[in-house]
Amino acid sequence: MPMIIATVMAYVDPEQQAEGQVRITWEVADKFGASLVGVSAFAVEPPFVAEGVIIRETTADDLKRMKSARADKEQWFRSVAGLPEGRVEWRCSVDYPTAFLTNEGAIGRLGGDQAHARKMDQFHFIDPAEAMMRMGRPTLLVPDHVATLNADRVRVGWKDTCEATIAVRNALPFLSRASQVTVVEISTSDEQDTARHRVRDVAKYLQAHAVKCQVDVRVHMAEPDAHQLVRLAKDEGAHLIVTGSYGHSRLGEWMFGGVTRGLLHELPVCVMMSH
């Protein structure tokens, strides 16, 4: 049976004003009859001390203003969400944003360029890459310039891994509604026949779930695999790329595989990743 999408979660950062970033999560929630949860958090910065003198610290008034700003952001989120009261929820905490989102995680709309640029401010903004890898849930990454999700044509980036299998399973609600799904594997020249067998097996699985599916096998080129996958998606006019996310934590820092890292940095279209 296809995975049921019951909850769509959107992180709302303190500077978020673009309604399109909430509207896209509303579209997903509305399409699948899911609940929509807005999540926001901030952590209190420790005092900045130089030569034994406190230069800057968060005061009680600062904390009060920050909480008030979050209350205003909740009202903004609810007004933009446009769903019945019983299907909209707001969760806020004084906590590190990435840690809070990870603990609450469902399907999350994590922004692209802006979120990546701000990720070093761990007190106010999420690190989308770390959140995605830690949540263990399907994550929808949306470029800043995209204000609506048209998932009519989908490219599935396939590898013979658990992550890819989980990604396909998690994406079934989207894939079953698409008019065109293409499963593509980028392989070495001497593995093309084996790759064709693999993607055909994936296609059979998807067709058994009423997914209109075709397959494609390409040979590694000089360009990185992520660029090749993106180029193929653009050539096909795909609206969504589905793929597994690959990485591991070393000494508290996430290290990503080439395709995952490339897609995180590029994000030309919406990307749904699962880890």
pLDDT for 253 equals 53
Q: Which residue has the tokens 């909480």?
A: 67
Phi and psi at residue 239, in whole multiples of 5°?
Answer: -100, -20
pLDDT for 185 equals 92
pLDDT for 97 equals 83
- Does residue 17 lie within any of the structural domains? yes
CB 249 within 8 A of CB 211: no
User: Does 270 lie in the same domain as 178?
Assistant: yes
- Does residue 147 lie within any of the structural domains? no
Convert the pLDDT of each residue in 83-105 to its tens digit: 888 899 999 888 888 888 887 76
What's the gap between Cα 227 and its chain centre? Answer: 18
Number of domains comprising the chain: 2
pLDDT for 245 equals 79
- Does residue 211 lie within any of the structural domains? yes
What's the gap between Cα 167 and its chain centre? Answer: 12
pLDDT for 133 equals 72
- Does residue 159 lie within any of the structural domains? yes
- Does residue 260 lie within any of the structural domains? yes
Task: Provide the total of helices (H) and of strands (E) in the chain, helices listed first.
Answer: 10, 14
User: Does 134 lie in the same domain as 47?
Assistant: yes
DSSP codes of every residue in 202-233: HHHHHHTTT--EEEEEEE--SS-HHHHHHHHH
- Does residue 47 lie within any of the structural domains? yes
Of 139, 164, 193, the residue that ends a domain is 139
Low-confidence residues of the chain: pLDDT under 50: 1, 106-119
pLDDT for 106 equals 46
pLDDT for 226 equals 79
- Does residue 33 lie within any of the structural domains? yes
Domain that holds residue 178: 153-274
Of 139, 165, 200, the residue that ends a domain is 139
User: Does 87 lie in the same domain as 173?
Assistant: no
Convert the pLDDT of each residue in 76-85 to its tens digit: 999 888 888 8
Name the nearest CA neighbour of 109 among 145, 141, 151: 141
- Residue 61, burial from CB neighbour count under 10 angstroms (0-12, 13-18, 19+): exposed
Phi and psi at residue 243, in whole multiples of 5°?
Answer: -160, 160
pLDDT for 256 equals 54
Q: Which residue has the tokens 């470029």?
A: 143
* CATH value at residue 235: 3.40.50.620
User: Does 31 lie in the same domain as 89?
Assistant: yes
- Does residue 145 lie within any of the structural domains? no
Of 107, 139, 171, the residue that ends a domain is 139
pLDDT for 107 equals 47
